[in-house]
């Protein structure tokens, strides 16, 4: 759902805020050769320095390692196979960090590199460790620069784009604001590359299927994301209780304007309900390996009574997966309304589907998806 933006309410400039800013590959690399754009990074770092001077804390999530690495290796058509992308990322990551280090040093700021993987959000101890590290970096006055650990990420267990990573980092550091900087003014009513009638959507109160369809389409030639991934990130942040702004990276003073609550780009309002880090990981970071179709009774129990999913409510199983895999849960209408981690593999769930607990083997875990491992998305 979307609406015209409400009257501007500028945030108290004297209140320190914790901000996560994400910048895409297209905003920090040359559009032709993919080389690191030092001028663009200098401008971004100058804004970061201004925010720090006013007492705000900022974590930067930066793409660009793969683009920088491929440019250093001679460029050409961007590779698509995972091993090459991982190798190229290893070449480009330190080159990108060197530019950030030099630029922030000119403002008297130190930079700390933090490489994260999805499992850092799914396992409690890893999550707490990552949170402590980022918190300590901020306490020491260091600017954390975060990226996905592309060089070693598993193809089946990875973020795939830094927009989602930035949203999860915003939850991790209990941010007040997530700013996604891109090459467009914000979320538009149409693709500006194909129509001149595209206009800016200034405020979004809920990300729905209409908006997701509107945002569908690829990103830039050098990046892995697009408006779809940014919308997904805004949705994650909203479930984290974090406000999100999508705005144009090269707009003068865009970070400060967003922090002050000025009308810049598209603002996404947070939900009142805040998910735990683990449930955020289940809902948004881990890929589904299959689908469970449930009856109306099970759907009601899951959505209204905070219940676990039992075999009696399962109508059918789609896909092949093992225990602990993530699955989507749909009603008979085929619409996904929940996601969770299964306690059993697909074969056992199929054999148990529709059976009451009294009909199941003694001593076995009877829940298909325990409520602690389930997220209702509706």
Query: Residue 340 and residue 155: Cα distance in Å, rounded?
Result: 20
From-to residues of CATH 3.40.1160.10 in the chain: 2-275
pLDDT (tens place) for every residue of the chain, 378 residues total: 444 444 334 445 457 899 999 998 888 988 766 689 999 999 999 999 999 999 999 999 998 888 888 888 887 777 788 888 888 889 999 999 999 999 999 999 999 999 998 778 767 788 889 999 999 999 999 999 999 886 666 554 455 578 989 998 999 999 999 999 998 899 888 777 677 777 899 999 988 777 877 766 544 444 444 788 899 899 889 988 999 999 999 999 999 999 999 999 999 999 887 888 788 888 887 789 999 999 999 999 999 999 999 999 999 999 999 999 999 999 999 999 999 999 999 999 999 999 999 999 888 899 999 999 999 986
Query: Residue 183 and residue 41: Cα distance in Å, rounded?
Result: 14
Torsions phi, psi for 331 (to 5 deg): -85, -175
* Per-residue confidence (pLDDT) for residue 74, from 0 to 100: 81
Q: How many beta carbons lie within 10 A of that of residue 218, not counting itself?
A: 11
Q: At what angle do helices 162-172 and 227-239 cross, to 10 degrees?
A: 20
Question: What is the fold, at CATH topology level, of the domain defined by 2-275?
Answer: Carbamate kinase (3.40.1160)
Query: Residue 109 and residue 101: Cα distance in Å, rounded?
Result: 8
From the list 315, 317, 266, the residue with the least C-alpha distance to 289 is: 317
* Per-residue confidence (pLDDT) for residue 314, from 0 to 100: 97
Radius of gyration for the chain, computed over Cα atoms and rounded to the nearest angstrom = 22
CA-to-CA dists, residue 150 to 83, 93, 153, 160, 302, angstroms: 10, 9, 5, 9, 36
Please, are residues 65 and 28 in contact by the beta-carbon 8 Å criterion? no
* Per-residue confidence (pLDDT) for residue 324, from 0 to 100: 93
First-residue to last-residue Cα distance in the chain: 14
CA-to-CA dists, residue 81 to 77, 84, 155, 347, angstroms: 12, 6, 10, 32
Query: Residue 92 and residue 107: Cα distance in Å, rounded?
Result: 24
State the residue for tokens 């199941």: 360
- State pTM to two decimals: 0.80
Residues 6+ away with beta carbon under 8 Å from 354: 311, 312, 314, 315
Question: What is the fold, at CATH topology level, of the domain defined by 288-376?
Answer: 2.30.130
From-to residues of CATH 2.30.130.10 in the chain: 288-376
Query: Residue 60 and residue 147: Cα distance in Å, rounded?
Result: 9
* Per-residue confidence (pLDDT) for residue 8, from 0 to 100: 36
* Per-residue confidence (pLDDT) for residue 225, from 0 to 100: 46
**DSSP label at 206?**
-
Please, are residues 297 and 332 in contact by the beta-carbon 8 Å criterion? no
């Amino acid at each position: 759902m979307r609406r015209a933006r409400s009257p501007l309410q500028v945030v108290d400039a004297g209140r320190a805020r914790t901000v996560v800013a994400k910048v895409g590959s297209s905003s920090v690399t040359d559009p032709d050769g993919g080389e690191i754009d030092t001028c663009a990074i200098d401008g971004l770092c100058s804004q970061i320095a201004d925010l720090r001077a006013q007492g705000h804390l900022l974590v930067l999530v930066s793409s660009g390692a793969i683009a920088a690495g491929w440019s250093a290796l001679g460029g050409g058509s961007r590779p698509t196979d995972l091993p090459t992308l991982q190798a190229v990322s290893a070449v480009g990551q330190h080159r990108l960090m060197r530019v950030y280090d030099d630029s922030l040093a000119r403002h008297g700021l130190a930079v700390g590199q933090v490489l994260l993987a999805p499992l850092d959000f799914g396992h409690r101890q890893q999550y707490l460790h990552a949170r402590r590290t980022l918190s300590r970096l901020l306490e020491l006055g260091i600017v954390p620069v975060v990226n996905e650990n592309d060089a070693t990420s598993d193809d089946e267990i990875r973020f795939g784009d830094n927009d989602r990573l930035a949203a999860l980092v915003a939850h991790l550091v209990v941010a007040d604001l997530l700013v996604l900087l891109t090459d467009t003014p914000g979320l538009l009513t149409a693709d500006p590359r194909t129509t001149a009638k595209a206009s800016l959507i200034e405020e979004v109160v809920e990300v729905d299927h209409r908006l997701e369809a509107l945002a569908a389409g690829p990103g830039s030639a050098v990046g892995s994301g697009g408006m779809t991934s940014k919308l997904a990130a805004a949705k994650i942040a909203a479930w984290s209780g974090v406000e999100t702004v999508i705005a144009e990276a090269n707009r003068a003073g865009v970070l400060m304007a967003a922090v002050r609550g000025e009308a810049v780009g598209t603002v996404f309002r947070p939900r009142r309900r805040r998910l735990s880090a683990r449930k955020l990981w289940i809902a948004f970071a881990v890929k589904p390996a299959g689908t469970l179709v449930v009856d109306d009774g099970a759907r009601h129990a899951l959505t209204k009574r905070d219940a676990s999913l039992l075999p009696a409510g399962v109508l059918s199983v789609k896909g092949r997966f093992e225990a602990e895999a993530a699955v989507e849960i749909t009603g008979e209408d085929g619409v996904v309304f929940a996601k969770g981690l299964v306690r059993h593999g697909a074969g056992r769930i199929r054999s148990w589907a529709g059976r009451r607990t009294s009909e199941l083997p003694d001593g076995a875990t009877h829940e298909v998806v325990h409520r602690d491992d389930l997220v209702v998305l509706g």
